[in-house]
Amino acid sequence: MIHRQSIVHSLVEMADGSVIAQLSLPDMRHPIQFALFYPERRFNDTLPEFSLIDAGELTFEPMDPSKYPCFNMAMKYARIGGTYNAVLAGADEAAVDLFMDGKLRFDEITGEIEKTLLAHDVKSEFTVEDAIIAASWAYETTLARHVTA
């Protein structure tokens, strides 16, 4: 689904059908802090406070998969798992950098990421260090295809 306000950062559906949401301003510092320190909840006075009243209306729309081809590709590789998730992150970062530098068209981003995923020898069992290496490899591999001599 699409949530254009970027306030709901995660939703978890419980066994009883209820949903728990993590909400904060459209700023990834809160969700990242939550993930890094879970289960501890740390106060960080450098982050702005969130007011549900000030947030206003929250909307959710169904996503048209034909408009977001990168999403389907990302889900395909996420289901396979292993180091593909790290490669996806590294290749995506490089593809966006290439786009921002005018070296890649927006409609080429998905294909560029998939080229890197297809070139990767996935590891099913991996360490954090393996994931960091895979992400770095993906970033460099994606950029290298666009280096001009």
Q: What is the pLDDT of residue 53?
A: 92
Q: What is the pLDDT of residue 14?
A: 97
**For each of the chain's 149 residues, which pLDDT tens digit applies?**
999 999 999 999 999 999 999 999 898 888 888 888 989 988 888 988 889 999 999 999 999 988 888 999 999 999 999 999 999 999 999 999 999 999 999 999 999 999 999 999 999 999 999 999 999 999 999 999 998 75
Q: What is the pLDDT of residue 29?
A: 87
List the Cα angle 93/95/100 in 5-degree steps.
Answer: 95
Q: What is the pLDDT of residue 127?
A: 95
Q: What is the pLDDT of residue 149?
A: 57
Q: What is the pLDDT of residue 12?
A: 95
DSSP string, the chain: -B-TT--EEEEEE-TTS-EEEEE--S-THHHHHHHHHTTS----TTSPPP-HHHH-----B---GGG-HHHHHHHHHHHH-TTHHHHHHHHHHHHHHHHHTTSS-GGGHHHHHHHHHHH----SS--HHHHHHHHHHHHHHHHHTT---
Q: What is the pLDDT of residue 2?
A: 94
Domains and CATH numbers, the chain: 8-55 (no CATH), 65-144 (1.10.1740.10)
Q: What is the pLDDT of residue 65?
A: 87
